[in-house]
Chain A
Amino acid sequence: MSEVERLLQNAFVPVEPPGALTERLERRLTELTDAAMHELADFDPGALRDPRRWARLAAAGLVAGTAGGALILVRARQKHRRREAHGLRALQNGLREVSGDMRRRMIR
C-alpha cells in the first residue's frame, strides 16, 4: 500500500449512522403505511368512475405496497430488539408474525 493509500485509509473512516436516522426512517415508513392503509380503507368503488381519482388511488396502492412491506421490516426490527437473545430464528418468527398482521389488516 502506497503512502497516499495509507492516508486515504486514515481519512475515510466508515461513519456510523446516528440513532436518530433509524428512528426517523422507521417513523416515516410507519406514517406512509398508515396513510396508505386509510386511503384504501376509505375506498369507494364508485370512485373508479371518476378518472380524476385514479391517480390518487394508484398512488395509495403503490405506497401501501411499498411501505407496507417496509413496515414489516421496521416492526420486525423492533421485535428483534426485544428478542435479541434468541437470534436470527426469533427475527424470522417476528417477520412471519408481522406479515400475518399485515395480511389480516389488508383483508379487513
Chain B
Amino acid sequence: MDKPQLDLEFAELYRAHLRDVYSYSYYRIGNHHDAEDLTEQTFLQAYRHFARARAESNGRPLRPWLIRIAHNLAANYHRDRSRRPQTHLEDAAILTEPLGTEQIVEEREEVEAVLRGVAGLPDDRREALIMRFALGMDNREIARALGRSEGATKVLIHRAIRQLEERLKEEEEVTDE
C-alpha cells in the first residue's frame, strides 16, 4: 500500500477514535491537562507504527491497538509519578435530563461514589471497566487491548463489577451508621 493511502486510513482512524483515546486517557489519569498529553503521545506513536499494525491486524478493527498504546503510556505515567487516578467529578458527571436540585445532588453523589469505588479497584479491573463503560468496547476488543483471552476478560469484568458492588454496599452501610 502506498503512503498517501496509508495516511488516508490513519486519518480515518484518528477521526473515528480521538474521543475514545481522550476519554480513556481522562479516566485513567484523572485530569484534562495530562489526558491531553497522553492523547497526543498516543497518536504520535500510533502514526509511527501504523503501517505495521495495519499489516498485522488482518483486517480487524484497530481501536484495541490504539487503546493498548494509551494503556501502556498511562501505565508509564503512573509508574513515573506514582500517582493514583483522580477524576474531576464536576466534569465527568454529565446529567442528561433536566432534574431538580435534590436529584442532581443525589445523582452526583452516586457518580462520585462509583468513581471512588472504581479508583480503588486493582488496575486491570479498573481499566476493563473504563473500556467497557466509557468506550463501549465489547469483550473481544477489551481482550485485544489488554492482551488477554476473551474468556479471561469476561471473568475480569464480572469480578470487577462484583467487587465494585461490594464496595458500594460497604460504603452505603458506613454512611447509614
A residues near B (Cβ < 8 Å) are 2, 4-5, 7-18, 20-22, 24-25, 28-29, 66-67, 69-70, 72-73, 76-77, 91-92, 95-96, 99
B107 in contact with A10 (CB, 8 Å): yes
Q: B168 contacts A4, CB within 8 Å?
A: yes
In the bound complex, CA of A17 to CA of B135 (Å): 14
Q: Is the CB of B115 within 8 A of A21?
A: no
Contacts of B103-149 to chain A: CB distance below 8 A: 107, 110-111, 114-115, 118, 129-130, 132-135
CB–CB B4/A13 < 8 A? no
Segment of B10-18, B53-61, B63-71, B77-85 engaged in the interface with chain A: B10-18
Per the bound structure, the CA–CA distance linking A12 and B27 in Å amounts to: 8
- Which residues from 27 to 70 on chain B have a C-beta closer than 8 Å to any C-beta of chain A? 27, 32, 35-36, 39-40, 43-44, 47-48
Contact call A17/B22, Cβ cutoff below 8 A: yes
**Contact of B48 (CB < 8 Å), options: A20, A66, A95:** A66
Q: In the bound complex, how far is the Cα of B43 from the Cα of A73, in angstroms?
A: 12
Q: Decide yes or no whether B19 CB sits under 8 A from chain A.
A: yes
Residues in B with CB closer than 8 Å to A9 are 133
Knowing A13-B134, A73-B7, the reply to whether A24 touches B36 (Cβ < 8 A) is: yes
Q: How far is the CB of B21 from chain A (nearest CB, A)?
A: 8
Contacts of B8 in A (CB 8 A): 76, 92, 95
Q: Is B40 a contact partner of A25 (Cβ separation < 8 A)?
A: yes
Among candidates A16, A21, A67, residue contacting B36 with C-beta atoms closer than 8 Å? A21
Is the beta-carbon distance between A99 and B161 smaller than 8 angstroms? no
Count of chain B residues near A, Cβ 8 A = 45
A34 to B107, CA, bound (A): 49
Given contacts A13-B94, A17-B18, A21-B36, contact A73 B11 (CB under 8 A): yes
Mark B residues whose CB is within 8 Å of A. 3-4, 6-8, 10-11, 14-15, 18-20, 22-23, 26-27, 32, 35-36, 39-40, 43-44, 47-48, 91-94, 107, 110-111, 114-115, 118, 129-130, 132-135, 161, 164-165, 168
Complex-state Cα separation, A73 to B11, whole angstroms: 6
- Distance (Å) between the CB of A25 and the closest chain B CB? 5
Residue in contact with A73 in the complex, picked from B14, B134, B161, B164, CB distance below 8 Å: B14
Among B7, B44, B115, contact of A11 (Cβ-Cβ < 8 Å): B115
Interface centre among A5, A10, A15, A95 (most CB of B within 10 A): A15
User: Are B92 and A15 in contact (CB-based, < 8 A)?
Assistant: yes
Task: Knowing that A7-B168, A28-B44 touch, tell me 5 more A-B residue pairs with CB under 8 angstroms.
Answer: A2-B161, A8-B129, A11-B110, A13-B92, A99-B7
